[in-house]
Amino acid sequence: MRHDFYLAWRHLRHHRTRTLILVLCLGLIAALPLGLHQVLEAGEYWMTRRAEATPLLVGARGSSVDLTLGALYFSETGVPTIRMQEADRITATGWADALPVYARHRVQDQPLIGVTLDYFDFRGLAPAQGELPAILGDCVLGADAADRLGLGPGDTLASSSENAFDLAGSYPLKLHVTGVLAKAHSPDDHAVFVDIQTAWVIEGLGHGHGETQAAPTQPDSPFGSPAVRRADAGLLTYTEITPENLEFFHFHGDPATYPISAVIALPHDTRAATLLQGRYLDDDSETEIVRPLDVTRGLLQNIFRVGALFDGILLLVGTIALLLVALVFSLSLRLRQREIETIYLLGCARLTVLRLLFAEILLIALIAAAVCAAVLATAAPYASDLARHFILS
């Protein structure tokens, strides 16, 4: 048998090009489904990791998937809003702490998220540079957002305007970058965070009253020479909030009626979570409560169905590849007819030819398996980053 493998190896070395093509085809076809499963498993880990850390989520009744993706991954900006009073209602029960999230706006293609300071403690976010927002108009950047925008503490960033020509609407707001968050390997890395009241200012729900002298012109303002816009004879809508004009800023109406995207509810224990969920069982309610982990697992089941479809396609491709390999060997036997006849003339039995063919096939399979293992080992360190980039970003 040792001689069979020696002869088979010498034959494969002699036909290097054919052997290389067969080995690469078989190795890559075997590596594709295994690599796909590596990426899916990494994606499942990163998605469930954030969902597991978020016990309950309250938002507008409708699509629980859109609600979860919008509040946890900042990927949906068109989710219906609820009122701030929903967060007050949750806190008033004494069963859970409420963290309001407002994720409607974007700034330079990065999600602009309005939160309270408790959100940073909840997510374990801390500044790597600078500090967290302190006053209206301040913002802090996620690590990836800071790299993409090329900004750091002390820089400014202009919010997007809903309608620059509507005096009753919102105006662009010049945000002051106070810090950059440490890398968290989560959707928070891509976001620009502001205080939720700053988000309401961008929405047009807050403005300043005062004299023109209270807000001097600034030639370096990206919004033109004046730092304020005049809405009427007594009302000034500022495009930049500074310590000098901060005292003129205020909100009209009841803040409890102001919009937010969702509320992250943090129950104190299992009993409190059950009682809180019972509060939202009324079908006539405009709000609903969901467990992000359940929603995420349901979403992942659909992703795995797509993965199973890919597995079926790759299985079909692999079968075709094996048939082509069989065809190559069949044609090879025809080309080696004189060689086989020489083996017979030397006194070898027909079983010897079969053993030689078996040795060749086994060697090709072993080398292809080694190629497959090498490809998977090379790609494994990048599977997690690839899943995080395409799924969480």
Q: Quick count: other Cβ atoms within 10 Å of Cβ 332? A: 14
pLDDT computed for residue 284 by the predictor: 65
pLDDT computed for residue 132 by the predictor: 92
pLDDT computed for residue 156 by the predictor: 87
Q: How many CA atoms lie within 13 A of 289 on its CB side?
A: 22
Dist CA 261 CA 196 (whole Å): 11
pLDDT computed for residue 234 by the predictor: 44
Dist CA 127 CA 362 (whole Å): 57
Dist CA 111 CA 105 (whole Å): 6
Look up the pTM and report it.
Answer: 0.71
Strands 206-208 and 249-251: antiparallel
| Percent share of the chain, pLDDT over 70 | 81
Strands of the 228-230 sheet, one edge to the other: 228-230, 236-238, 206-208, 249-251
Q: Tokens 């816009």 label which residue?
A: 229
Stretches in the chain below the pLDDT threshold 70: 1-3, 76-78, 161-171, 206-238, 282-284, 307, 344, 347-350, 387-393
**Cβ 57 vs Cβ 67: under 8 Å:** yes
